Structure 1
Amino acid sequence: MNTLPIMRAMPELKNALAESPSAVLIAEPGAGKTTMTPLELLNEPWMKGKTMLMLEPRRLAARAAAVYMASLLGERAGQTVGYRMRMDSRTGPDTRIIVVTEGVLTRMLQDDPSLEGTGLIIFDEFHERNLSADLGLALALESQNVLREDLKLLIMSATLDGERVAELLGGAPVVRCAGRTFPVETEYAPPPKSVPLEKAAADSVRRALAAQPGDILVFLPGEREIRRTEAELKSAPLPPGTFIAPLFGQLPQAEQDRAVAASEPGMRKVVLSTSIAETSLTIEGVRTVIDAGLRRTQVFSPRTGMTRLTTLPISKASAEQRKGRAGRTAPGVCIRLWSMEEHGRLPESDTPEMLEADLSGLALELALWGVRDPASLAWLDAPPAAPYAQAAGLLRALGALDAAGAVTPHGRRLAGLGTHPRAAHMLLRAAELGAAPLACRLAALLQERDPLRGHGSGSCDLTLRVEALLRYEAAGGHGDAGGDPAALRAVERGARALLAQLRSAVPDAGRLEESAAGAAADPYLCGLLLSFAYPDRIGQRRGGGAFVLSGGRGAAMGDSQQLARESYIVVPAVDDSGTQSRILLAAPVKERDLLDHHEANEKAEVYWDEDSSSVKAGRRLMLGEIALKETGHERPGPGEAAVVLLEVIRRQGLELLSWDKGTAQLRERMAFMHHAYQNWPDVSDQGLKDKLEEWLLPYLADCRNLRDLQRLPLRDALEGMLDWESRRRLDREAPTHIAVPSGSRVAVDYTNPAAPVLAVKLQEMFGQQDTPRIGGGRIPVVLHLLSPARRPVQVTSDLASFWSGTYFEVKKDLKGRYPKHYWPDDPMQAVPTNRVRPVRKD
């Protein structure tokens, strides 16, 4: 181990930490920083009698690092070196190095802000910018500054802006260390766009098995792609001695260990992994990396207050990390399933989770720490204001924060469960109702892969998933439960783990035993429990599969869905990529349950009633933005109704009004004048919406409903925007009709205000030299010269040029098709006519 590159940097690092409270270590892949640094620092004088914590962002890497360090000491994990993570711990009375993950550091700091007995906190792979790591560092820095001057902090990374982190740490020294990686050749091999990802990955694996030695590591965005690639590889025989090893976070530990362990002699391994294998882990024997260049992540939308699972391209930094996996133990090859040009367009680094995640858990932890304004702590990237405000709003709705933003006793209980505040609130409320096991199943279903995806059910009803899970449990994991067995197994494990967490947190564990209610997939009980977790996503039917959510957002499902007929639903999973969220998972809930278990507010208001398309006044029992009940109706006053009607028009559009042909033409003529003279009123949709109070409000005195709106004298309202002189000018410069040489008055089409059109038969224009002009003679109309059948034969704004040139070509064609009509050789001397031939005058 003394040959590892990190050993050469160790004297400088030890000296930096002896003289400074903090340091930054930038060590390239293969340097040995994760496993050797804690062991080397353990016996420093300032560590005497103290323990060391190392935050590792991934569970698999945390466990593997602890086990490997223990083996270097000739021990098992749990002696000198151990680990702690949710639902899994290996520590003992003599443990001095504890590898932690998934919020464990935050819990330890919350329980003991001074971390008495801890000498050093190491933040490994900090470049991943995990939300827990950012929070843990902010809390640790405050603990160091306020309570523990002797507490030391070490930030470690392979790819990180070391100077920026050093500045955050008060000018900490930066130690750099080269890695020990073998050369890795890079190949760019983008598949045709028509080839699915799983087929492209499988084809690359087969070629690599034939051309390259050693094991193969394939990076794919998620479990779904891993399973599909696995199926594609198994569809045809692989070389003898080859086996496939999936690797992702929800996989059982034994299968994860199998994927990471060195292959037995004579065997070759193909590891299909998510980004879990990107850092910290060394998978022995890997000589080839095949990279799909994608990652799956949760992206929070402040616009909707919802989180969406999305697949994104990786960054250049991640691509280099993945490439380095092929050069840990020998020279290797990295095959990238994208082009060199696409590589140049990748972002330099991944967006920190802080800037794109749901911040409700972070907001709860800060409230528990006593912080109401996150700006009072030191951050590498501070929590964005809008998502943080929405997170605090959700916590108030869950009862975790009071009106002043301070944590409540209930909020402390939520934090103690160690899961998302939504799920924690649902579990605690369910325990009060004797339905905790069912709530645990629901929470696990929402955290794991959908067990009915690809199993014939297009329904978004979450209750069907619960029923499949109950069948799976009743059959002991055997038989056909009507879903994906692997997904159901993961959900069952997750539900058991949540129930164990709840038992440890709830004093009266007897209430958590399985009850008749908890063991049944009662759809309305499922909906009630989900409404505790998602008080902002209780949906009220609007018809046609559309619902309005209590948070004010619209959401919809297919009209053929059974749930589309329910009056109320709860929507825990949506796709918010469009203007209206698409419902992915939902469950029905009874109005009576909502009234019994949620706090509704009675509001006296004047409002627009969608069902009757009218303005109403009265009292409504509101749950967020949906009205559960209406009590008492009064006739709204004229002023009140007008204000509501203006907002409805702004929201739903000017199409609500009745635009007859004459009014529409007046608006188009005014639009032409606005285009020609900027000081004229803007009558575009947005322009009219912006000035509704000025031009429409005076006509709304007697309006109460949609029928009244459609009877409004819109022509008078538009003309009311003009004074007497402007109306006269409108008639002069934007006439409704133009007199043509034949004597006809032809209507001007102002549909395009930049180019009004006069569509007239060619024969009616004989004798006219110049194009007719409007706008005070400045703007020529666009002439659509028509055949006798009123079909355009020429479009021009230069009539004189047409007569002198193109007319003769057009005349040949028209004379052949319309021989009885009048087609003179000299159109300027001809008699204009709107008949077949001009009328003779004797």
Structure 2
Amino acid sequence: MTTPPHSPLPIDASIQAVRKALAAGGHVVLIAPPGAGKSTRLPLALVDEPWLAGKKIVLVLPRRLAALGAARRMANELGEGVGETVGHRVRFDTKVGQATRLEVVTDGVFTRMIADDPELAGIGCVMFDEVHERALAADLGLAFALEAQSALRPDLRLTAMSATVDGAKFQVLLEPHGGCQRIESDGSMFPVATHHEPSGLPAPQAVTEVALDALRRFDGDGLIFLPGQREIETACGLLREALGNQVAIHALYGAVTRSAQDEALRPDPSGRRKLVVASAIAETSITIPGVQFVVDSGLARRPIYDPVRGITRLETKPASRASIDQRRGRAGRTAPGDCIRLWRREEEGGRPAEDRPEILDADLAKLRLDMALWGALERTSLPFLDPPPESAWEQAGALLKSLGALDAKGAATAFGARMAKLPTHPRLAALLERANAGGKSDAAWAALLAGELNERGPLDGAERLRAALQDRRQAKALKTLHTRLLGRSEAKPPPNDAVLVHHLLHAYPDLIAKRDKDDGQRAIYKLAQGMQAGMETHHPLASEPFLLVLDLGGGRKSGAARVPDIRLALPLSEDQLRDGLGHLITRVETRTFDHATWSVRVRDETRIGALMLAADARPRRTGLNALSEIASHLRSKDLESLTARDKAAGALLSRHQAFHASRGESDALLTRLEAWLPTLLESGEAPPFPDNVLEKAWRAALDWEEAQAFDKQWPASVALGSDQRARIAYDHPAGPTISVRPQMLYGRDDHPTLGADQQPVLIELLSPAQRPIALTADLPAFWRKGWKDVRKDMRARHPKHDWPEEPWKGPTKQSKNRGS
């Protein structure tokens, strides 16, 4: 393919290096600032490379507008129309032909392409542009491509192109998959003077004021950055009011029509100066000829997943330093320019260096469904720069299971596979798929509903939804969406609340709510997902037993927890719930152990998620009939619950535990529960169990050899002589211990021991007042070394008692005669 002559671009100097690296079979990370030509000049320069062997190049861009613009510019450069050598695939719009060798697609479309055909048949190279933006779909598409290249297509070349210098981490990601070379290209920026002009006005008013002044101060057209549609439309209105028809005013954001986008990107046909008021969509990938000054509000709107409301909300925050630098560069694409920033210079250091990857903040429901269909069931299964956060991953899995898209193991169901083919959030895909099974009328109104929710944002605006459905023009537009999605085209008159609830249930099964209690100010509802929410008791819906919650926010304390407010909801009957979500209703037998009676309460419960719809009590289980529940209780609570109120039983437990620990089985009583618990239950006793009952039960867990060793080597007491015995306290903190007065040990010159390894029994010596005076594990040594000081103290305190100098020889003669 020969390309017409074209003006030089900075990327031209790097094209040969890219060609060489790809021809060697490796991958490329290309770092080139906006304006270098990486999105248009480079792909065209690679189309005729021999290693492609007639296969296509796919260029992946993160936004529809950028993809359409890039395809159009490359086709123009070839003197062709889109759909010939260069084609595009974006949502609901495909222009490719038999001769197409370079396809420009959005990241969402590419993810669907590779999911449908993991081998990427007929494709030789995939070029990911603007990877620094870290869009969720782009991260997923790159991960899929790396897996496909490693397992199925070792000949597939990948190129990751970034407008910022963070390309090194992409090189690390690509290197293990066949090698990767990093190539850097200079930009084409002319000098741009930066002016800081902070304003206390709201952003639309502030940029309007500055832009009007900039038109007088600077030449050329202007590009104004605002965070989103609402602010952009407000600023456009203010500018048109101030300028009339003297200057062309254009809005540029994702939702504007194709014709409006084209007008914003072209020079004004009547030669007027132009102001383009844009979102972050104009930072990269698109070229607006004639722009010589930029007015930057410094704000950006990013999608942030809100786990409380279960939706992704847009949050306005200061744009990152990388973002404001790219905006500034737009003023120097064709000539020296100026950038007016509406904040103080010293504030820039407090801005984040770059935008957070979307995967860290986004709703991961669609990503997890796509991964499940790929066969990647764990969040770390794919080669991501940043793996999905665990909490968001688990929340996505719970939602998808409630929608019927995943099974209990996290694998995709057949229903989930059909959902994934629809280019919308899984909530709305479930709504559409279930309605589609109900016939044309159901499917038509479900599509209208899904379109409104998709336009407004899930969970936002059920009241506006009703109004929208009455609007014929809106209904017609939504009906067109439905036709594109499911091929249906029939609809009856606008639905009532019951019909809305029927459809919405399929999209938001986790947000059905059951009235739980009244905290005095608010009715508190429990949601199927497990959390609580409340509404004022005087609200008309506050007495409803069930609600379908459409919006949550704010909140206040209810008891110790902060409970969000129900801002919008629809009444829901139990019949509607059972009819609409019968596939999610489970019936389970629950068993609850009652420690007071050592019985098990049994109930048959009908549940949906965390909500209990009904419960029927059954006869209690006792004795051997409750064996498994009692065993579970003892394992969770430990065995002290058997002996907590009985000293003798506690001592017996300590003895058995010490015996088993000496044999390397410290948990033997728990691991052998099934061997002795039946004996205990057959006794007919209830806690606190007498020690003789426990002794009989625990002996049932011993074999003959163990029983002999237990009695001989770990006795309940030790002999002291003269037919006296001392009980061994096996639960003493220091170990098995006897507590006796010294007089009971006079004449003894050995130390009592336990077990085969002759473990010494600790001897705690007591004064005549039964207070501890010494502790020893070696009685003969104590008599000869420690006794002297004890004897001296005790003789002074208790002179009437016998304190011999050599107690191992026995009591004194006088003591014997007195018998003390």
TM-score by length of 1: 0.67
Query: In the alignment, which of 352, 367, 375 is matched to residue 372 of structure 2?
Result: 367
**2:340 is the counterpart of 1:355:** no
For residues 28 and 308 of structure 1, the distance between their equivalents in structure 2, rounded to whole angstroms, comes to 30
**2:272 is the counterpart of 1:267:** yes
The match for 2:236 is 230
CA contact (8 A) 1:365 1:415 kept: yes
Query: In the alignment, which of 606, 610, 624 is matched to residue 621 of structure 1?
Result: 606
Q: Deviations over 1:661-692 (max 9, x none)?
A: xxxxxxxxxxxxxxxxxxxxxxxxxxxxxxxx
The match for 1:175 is 183
The match for 1:441 is 448
CA contact (8 A) 1:189 1:337 kept: yes
Q: Secondary structure at the match of 2:347?
A: helix
The aligned runs of 1:271-420 (5 Å cut-off) are 271-302=276-307, 305-420=310-425
The aligned runs of 1:342-741 (5 Å cut-off) are 342-434=347-439, 435-449=442-456, 462-473=461-472, 477=473, 489=474, 493=477, 496-503=480-487, 512-516=488-492, 519-541=493-515, 544=522, 546-557=524-535, 562-564=540-542, 566-575=544-553, 579-598=562-581, 599-603=584-588, 619-632=604-617
The match for 1:86 is 91
CA contact (8 A) 2:602 2:621 kept: yes
Following TM superposition, by how much is the alpha carbon of 1:617 offset from its aligned partner in structure 2, in angstroms? 8.7
**2:131 is the counterpart of 1:147:** no
What RMSD in Å do the two structures reach over aligned CA positions? Answer: 2.8
Q: Deviations over 1:149-178 (max 9, x none)?
A: 111001111114222111111141111100
**2:138 is the counterpart of 1:133:** yes
The match for 1:748 is none
Give the letter aligned to residue 444 of structure 2. Answer: P
For residues 622 and 392 of structure 1, the distance between their equivalents in structure 2, rounded to whole angstroms, comes to 19
Q: CA 1:445–1:619 in structure 2 vs 1: closer, same or farther (change >3 Å)? A: same
For residues 125 and 263 of structure 2, the distance between their equivalents in structure 1, rounded to whole angstroms, comes to 32
Q: Secondary structure at the match of 2:195?
A: strand
Q: Deviations over 1:292-313 (max 9, x none)?
A: 1112122124577543321122
Following TM superposition, by how much is the alpha carbon of 1:339 offset from its aligned partner in structure 2, in angstroms? 1.5
Following TM superposition, by how much is the alpha carbon of 1:628 offset from its aligned partner in structure 2, in angstroms? 2.8
TM-score by length of 2: 0.69
Q: Deviations over 1:750-777 (max 9, x none)?
A: xxxxxxxxxxxxxxxxxxxxxxxxxxxx
Q: CA 1:312–1:6 in structure 2 vs 1: closer, same or farther (change >3 Å)? A: same
The match for 2:65 is 60
Q: Deviations over 1:724-757 (max 9, x none)?
A: xxxxxxxxxxxxxxxxxxxxxxxxxxxxxxxxxx
The match for 2:712 is none
The match for 1:201 is 207
Following TM superposition, by how much is the alpha carbon of 1:264 offset from its aligned partner in structure 2, in angstroms? 3.0
Q: Secondary structure at the match of 1:34?
A: coil
Following TM superposition, by how much is the alpha carbon of 1:16 offset from its aligned partner in structure 2, in angstroms? 1.1
For residues 176 and 135 of structure 1, the distance between their equivalents in structure 2, rounded to whole angstroms, comes to 25
CA contact (8 A) 2:56 2:101 kept: yes
CA contact (8 A) 1:462 1:586 kept: no
Q: Percent identity?
A: 42
The match for 1:210 is 216
Q: CA 1:293–1:583 in structure 2 vs 1: closer, same or farther (change >3 Å)? A: farther
Following TM superposition, by how much is the alpha carbon of 1:559 offset from its aligned partner in structure 2, in angstroms? 5.9
Q: Secondary structure at the match of 1:325?
A: helix
Following TM superposition, by how much is the alpha carbon of 1:248 offset from its aligned partner in structure 2, in angstroms? 1.1
For residues 84 and 566 of structure 2, the distance between their equivalents in structure 1, rounded to whole angstroms, comes to 49
Give the letter aligned to residue 229 of structure 2. Answer: E
Following TM superposition, by how much is the alpha carbon of 1:462 offset from its aligned partner in structure 2, in angstroms? 4.7
Following TM superposition, by how much is the alpha carbon of 1:31 offset from its aligned partner in structure 2, in angstroms? 0.7
Larger Rg: 2
Following TM superposition, by how much is the alpha carbon of 1:392 offset from its aligned partner in structure 2, in angstroms? 1.6
Deviates more, 1:167-176 or 1:49-58: 167-176
Q: Secondary structure at the match of 2:140?
A: helix
Q: CA 1:628–1:461 in structure 2 vs 1: closer, same or farther (change >3 Å)? A: farther
Contiguous gaps of at least 5 residues in structure 1? 452-459, 478-488, 504-511, 608-615, 638-700, 702-842
For residues 278 and 209 of structure 2, the distance between their equivalents in structure 1, rounded to whole angstroms, comes to 16
The match for 1:714 is none
Q: Secondary structure at the match of 1:555?
A: strand
Counting matched residue pairs gives: 596
The match for 1:772 is none
CA contact (8 A) 1:243 1:269 kept: yes
Q: CA 1:386–1:320 in structure 2 vs 1: closer, same or farther (change >3 Å)? A: same
Contiguous gaps of at least 5 residues in structure 2? 1-5, 557-561, 593-600, 623-687, 689-820
For residues 243 and 7 of structure 2, the distance between their equivalents in structure 1, rounded to whole angstroms, comes to 40
CA contact (8 A) 2:451 2:481 kept: no
CA contact (8 A) 1:308 1:576 kept: no
Q: CA 1:561–1:493 in structure 2 vs 1: closer, same or farther (change >3 Å)? A: farther
CA contact (8 A) 2:75 2:86 kept: yes
The match for 1:647 is none
Following TM superposition, by how much is the alpha carbon of 1:144 offset from its aligned partner in structure 2, in angstroms? 0.7
For residues 606 and 493 of structure 1, the distance between their equivalents in structure 2, rounded to whole angstroms, comes to 54
Following TM superposition, by how much is the alpha carbon of 1:437 offset from its aligned partner in structure 2, in angstroms? 2.0
For residues 568 and 345 of structure 1, the distance between their equivalents in structure 2, rounded to whole angstroms, comes to 47
For residues 100 and 134 of structure 1, the distance between their equivalents in structure 2, rounded to whole angstroms, comes to 15
Give the letter aligned to residue 189 of structure 2. Answer: T
Following TM superposition, by how much is the alpha carbon of 1:242 offset from its aligned partner in structure 2, in angstroms? 0.9
CA contact (8 A) 2:369 2:412 kept: yes
Q: Secondary structure at the match of 2:481?
A: helix
The match for 2:128 is 123
